[in-house]
Amino acid sequence: MSGYCVTYNTCLKKYLSFNYLSGMSFCDDLSRQEWSSSFHLGSFWGSNNGYWAFWPTDEEKNDTAHSGQNLYVYSFFQKNPGRRFRISLGQGETKPDLGFTSSSVWFFNENTPHQVITMDPGQMYGYTPFVESWDSIEARRTRQVGCLGAEVKYSGTWSDVTDPACYEGKARASAERRASVEFTFQGNDIYWRAVKGPGLGKADVFLDGVLQTTVDCWASLPSGYQFAFIKRGLSGKGPHTIKVVVKNEKNPRSAGTGS
């Protein structure tokens, strides 16, 4: 999972993500990308099509990567007048209002994703890395491999899914317990994007044979954009092997157990 419009806040000593529909979430470590639910602050930036584009700055309005107790969010879109919102952090309790929701993906045509509107910061990165970026996730140099890549090995029963919202328009799914997919790679970092949706369940993620986490692939609407697992700073260049194993389990909101 990853953040959107991220600033490191020296007051909270956390990374803040500014999301659509005037939401804000936080995490402690960008290498782990464990973002909180999105806290709905009101109807400000990203609340309508006139103010979808936005970015936070520090109080001096010259740093988009760092901020303190007081900061600004600038909202702008095409030729519409800009808006500026001042945020002052202090004591109190903020409860998540909308929480994580799945994305809506717009298309100019069936093969061209246009925009993702979501409260979930984990869905806001495109597939192509931006080499010249201050963001350590965007700026990574990445080898991208789709689910049909020759080096991707499957065990058990898997079905093919065609969906323009997925990378290369393809995905594979399985609800068979212990069905697995694995990929061996050279490098220090690994990022896995999983399709999430209303009928999907849970999967275990192993790295070099060691269980790392259990991923819940449920979402209220289908999404092919999320980072489901990130591991950075692996020792040496490898080879390393990531393996995803279907648990055939689900959370109560899901209509199925597939992954």
Closest CA to 156 of 171, 178, 182: 178
pLDDT given for residue 2 in this prediction = 52
Q: How far apart are CA 15 and CA 35, in angstroms?
A: 9
Q: How far apart are CA 215 and CA 213, in angstroms?
A: 6
The pTM for the full model equals 0.52
Residue showing tokens 């107790």: 69
pLDDT given for residue 162 in this prediction = 87
Residue 105 has pLDDT above 80, yes or no: no
Is 39 within 8 Å of 97 (Cβ atoms)? yes
Widest CA span in the chain: 56
Domains contained in the chain, CATH given: 6-123 (no CATH), 153-246 (2.60.120.260)
Residue 110 has pLDDT above 80, yes or no: no
More confident residue, 75 or 179: 179
Confidence tier at 245 by pLDDT (50, 70, 90): very high
CA distances for 244 relative to 127, 153, 156, 212, 226, angstroms: 20, 11, 12, 10, 15
Per-chain mean pLDDT for the chain:
76
